[in-house]
Amino acid sequence: MAIAENPTQPTQTPDQKHLVLVGMMGSGKSKVGRLVSKASKRVFFDCDTLISDSYGMPIPDIFETKGEASFREIEHDVLKKVLASQQPAIISTGGGVVLRADNRELLSEVTVVWLRSNVKNLAKRLEHSYKKRPLLAGSKSKSELRATMSRILLEREPLYETVAHHKLKVDQMRLKAIVSEVAKLAS
């Protein structure tokens, strides 16, 4: 995947900023991002995919072998690189991208859309895939999964609030409507 190697200043014009999706695990960032990229004919970058591709291992393995702090470093480098790409892109991020102040600073230069969802729906969507999320994989029951997600959401909600230029409450929305709303922001 072609990403500029020299992340200096973003080269987008003000009305052609990158559109970045943020939100909790399970909020649909990757799926929505891919569909919005098709609808808006913009290039798509999925930060988690780029991270695991460049390290040749899935994210849980990166967490296990290098630890979360190293993962956050890699995540920061990938974010910097995708934001430095020339063409205005659609970018989906990992749920924890907002944890670092330097990432939040980078996100202030682009258009950020927060896909907001409640814990009940997030946990439902992750019911069959939470084992692939290192921060959730230890949950032993549905109620433990929901409790862990509530704790993470409580910590992150103010951070998503800080970086988001647009919030979309996706709980009651169909995928098509979400894609259409987000695509409007990329036109």
Residues that bind ligand S3P (CB under 6 A): 25, 29-30, 48, 59, 94-96, 133-135
Residues forming beta bridges with residue 45, ordered by sequence position: 91
Rounded to whole angstroms, the Cα distance separating 146 from 123 reads: 6
Nearest distance in Å: CB 11, ligand S3P? 26
CB atoms within 10 A of CB 151: 12
Nearest distance in Å: CB 100, ligand S3P? 11
Q: 12 vs 18, which CB is nearer to ligand S3P? A: 18
Rounded to whole angstroms, the Cα distance separating 31 from 115 reads: 12
Nearest distance in Å: CB 12, ligand S3P? 24
DSSP alpha helix (H) spans, the chain:
29-40, 47-55, 59-66, 68-83, 101-107, 119-126, 142-163, 175-185
Nearest distance in Å: CB 96, ligand S3P? 3
Rounded to whole angstroms, the Cα distance separating 105 from 90 reads: 18
Q: 3 vs 159, which CB is nearer to ligand S3P? A: 159
Q: 25 vs 159, which CB is nearer to ligand S3P? A: 25
Q: 88 vs 96, which CB is nearer to ligand S3P? A: 96
